[in-house]
Amino acid sequence: MYGLINKAVEGLVRSKFGDATWDRIRTRAGLPDEPFIGMEQYPDKTTYDLVGAASAELGAPAAAILEEFGLYWVRYTAEAGYGELMKSAGRTLPEFLRNLDQLHTRVKLSFPHLAPPSFAVSDESSSSLVLRYYSDRPGLAPLVVGLLRGLGDRFNVDVTARFERVEGDRPHDRFVVEWSPRA
Ligand code: HEM
């Protein structure tokens, strides 16, 4: 994945746990003391190793780390030069979720080798929908939970999301997303 992702993981750890914790996590992941370059591609293993090392150092399950990262990512991208892109994706949570593939298609203009996930929305009501998440990368459903919660913050709604794995011709994770306005 592009270095932008690893940079954001680093930003999250440094801001929440400090520089010394970041150094321990980076070392445990076997990575050199060098800055990540946002526009450069890194093996997916680098990101998975970082999540594994953070999980071990912080004593939290990998799923919790991924979820926390998803929450952070929504704010990070909005502040790291992708604010307009985020704005253009929609003004409400359901509108935004319907536009996720288009969002990554636009991201691809700056990151030509992007291998983005794909999303499909169905079963919409005024306060819920079904979101299907397709990716070749394993185990990232908890990241999507965090992203959905982050988008909830963005649109000022409380979000709950549960997911189940759907096997078959086109395996994916199926999320039931529900939201209610914040007081
Ligand atoms: C402007 C905002 C965004 C940017 C710049 C962005 C960019 C990226 C990049 C660079 C990757 C790594 C993929 C690769 O390098 O091949 C990625 C992956 C991913 N993105 Fe986005 N993204 C944005 C918003 C979102 C949002 C709002 C969601 C919410 C669902 C999302 C869901 C994901 C997921 C789940 C992955 C993990 C890769 C996978 O599932 O295979 N992204 N994105």
Give residue 13 CA to ligand 1 midpoint distance, Å.
Answer: 19
Q: What angle do CA 72, 75, 45 make, to 5 degrees?
A: 45
Site to probe by mutation for ligand 1, drawn from 107, 149, 173 as the one with most ligand atoms within 8 Å of Cβ, is: 107
Neighbours of 20 (CB within 10 A): 9
Residues lining ligand 1, judged by CB closer than 6 Å? Answer: 1-2, 4-5, 74, 77, 82, 85-86, 100, 103-104, 107, 111, 114-117, 135, 137, 140, 143-144, 147
CATH 3.90.1520.10: does it fit domain 68-181? yes
pLDDT digits (tens, 9 = 90+) for 75-96: 999 999 999 999 999 999 999 9
Rounded Cα distance between 56 and 58, Å, is: 6
Site to probe by mutation for ligand 1, drawn from 6, 73, 97, 177 as the one with most ligand atoms within 8 Å of Cβ, is: 73
Give residue 2 CA to ligand 1 midpoint distance, Å.
Answer: 10
Residue-averaged pLDDT of the chain: 97
Helical H segments across 93-164, by residue range: 93-98, 100-110, 141-154
Give residue 168 CA to ligand 1 midpoint distance, Å.
Answer: 24
Q: What angle do CA 164, 167, 171 make, to 5 degrees?
A: 90
pLDDT of residue 183: 79
pTM of the entire predicted model: 0.97
Nearest CA residue ID for atom 15, ligand 1: 1
Over range 42-60, report the average pLDDT.
98
pLDDT digits (tens, 9 = 90+) for 127-180: 999 999 999 999 999 999 999 999 999 999 999 999 999 999 999 999 999 999
Rounded-to-10 torsion of CA 57, 62, 68, 74 = 120
